[in-house]
């Protein structure tokens, strides 16, 4: 006998893997990575929710979400006014939904300062069974309370890094923050990996920064690098992930490769967790 739709949907509820895309610097490729990674994961059959935590809302517009369809936002989720799946809006990509951001998020920082459990708001909203395999958080370009909420909520952080002069300093600042969050709020937090973005092979500085970053962070730096590619910057104005806008472009291909590297790493982590739990 076929099960009822309600029972069927209850069956697929699970605690998703929670990943934050974070770097306190703006313009390093966080949103581009969030959108295209989420799309690549959805394309290989994962059910993905992208939560836009940046008041600028680039992940929402980049996925073609129109203001008129927004009922609730990540602001409402943060303040416990709705469940995360109630705020989720379907995108043109099958299996990919997004919780849009809201302009109210720019005031959330101040509102949170006096709120109870201010660091745990997002954790409380996201640590529960949901109809998704992955929830990806696109963070704002600072280490404010919104980013802190994301780091306290997630299992792992993914850091997009542009190969520029002060890249390594910025990265150590972020890793120190992750360390502090781990000590004070979220013992299970780790850095999933660092992805080099806007990579330009012909640039000497790129090679130098890559050497330094790989020297310091070793295997934590993904083998896949994301090249500078104009298709990645054009796609958002069509409300489409680059992977849908032009799948053959070098940028799209790099994100598809990155997604498979991440899945591989995820499988290793799962094995490690199972071994720890069995011990
Ligand atoms: N690999 C890339 N090649 C070319 N342009 C890129 C690439 N990654 C991002 N961009 C562009 O750079 C700008 C900043 O990227 P974005 O992902 O919005 O960064 P962030 O979210 O860190 O602020 C955007 O205009 C984006 O389209
Ligand atoms: Mg962004």
Tens of pLDDT, residues 98-118:
999 999 999 998 999 888 899
pLDDT of residue 11: 55
Percent of the chain with pLDDT over 70: 96
Domains and CATH numbers, the chain: 14-278 (3.40.50.300)
Atom 9, ligand 1: residue with shortest CA distance: 29
Question: Over the stretch 154-169, which tens digit does the pLDDT of each residue have?
Answer: 999 999 999 998 889 9
Ligand 1 environment, Cβ below 6 A: 26-32, 58, 141, 197-198, 226, 228-229, 232-233, 236, 251
pLDDT of residue 8: 47
Q: Does 9 score more than 60 pLDDT? A: no
pLDDT averaged over every residue in the chain: 93
Percent of the chain with pLDDT over 90: 84
Tokens 């958080």 belong to: 137
- Count of CB atoms within 10 A of residue 69's CB? 10
Atom 23, ligand 1: residue with shortest CA distance: 27
Those residues with Cβ within 8 angstroms of residue 88's Cβ, 6 or more apart along the chain or in another chain:
49, 97, 98, 99
Q: Does 85 score more than 80 pLDDT? A: yes
Tokens 């936002």 belong to: 73
Atom 25, ligand 1: residue with shortest CA distance: 233
H-helix or E-strand spanning residue 253:
helix 250-278
């Amino acid at each position: 006998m076929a099960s009822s739709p309600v029972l069927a949907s209850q069956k697929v509820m699970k605690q998703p893997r929670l990943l934050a895309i974070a770097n306190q610097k703006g313009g390093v490729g966080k949103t581009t990575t969030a959108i295209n990674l989420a799309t690549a994961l959805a394309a290989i059959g994962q059910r993905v929710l992208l939560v836009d935590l940046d008041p600028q809302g680039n992940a929402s517009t980049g996925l073609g979400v129109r203001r008129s369809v927004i009922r609730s936002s990540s602001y409402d989720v943060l303040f416990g006014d709705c469940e995360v799946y109630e705020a989720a809006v379907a995108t043109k990509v099958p299996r990919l939904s997004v919780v849009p951001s809201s302009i109210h998020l720019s005031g959330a920082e101040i509102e949170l300062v006096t709120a109870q459990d201010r660091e745990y708001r997002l954790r409380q909203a996201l640590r529960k069974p949901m109809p998704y395999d992955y929830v990806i958080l696109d963070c704002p370009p600072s280490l404010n309370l919104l980013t802190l909420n994301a780091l306290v909520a997630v299992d792992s952080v993914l850091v997009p890094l542009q190969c520029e002069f002060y890249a390594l300093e910025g990265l150590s600042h972020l890793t120190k923050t992750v360390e502090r969050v781990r000590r004070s709020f979220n013992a299970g937090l780790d850095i999933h990996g660092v992805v080099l973005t806007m990579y330009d092979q012909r640039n000497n500085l790129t090679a130098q920064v890559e050497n330094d970053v790989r020297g310091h962070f070793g295997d934590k730096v993904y083998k896949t690098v994301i090249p500078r590619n104009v298709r990645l910057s054009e796609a958002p104005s069509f409300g489409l992930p680059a992977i849908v806008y032009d799948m053959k472009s070098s940028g799209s291909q790099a994100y598809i490769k990155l997604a498979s590297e991440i899945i591989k790493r995820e499988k290793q982590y799962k094995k490690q967790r199972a071994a720890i739990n069995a011990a």
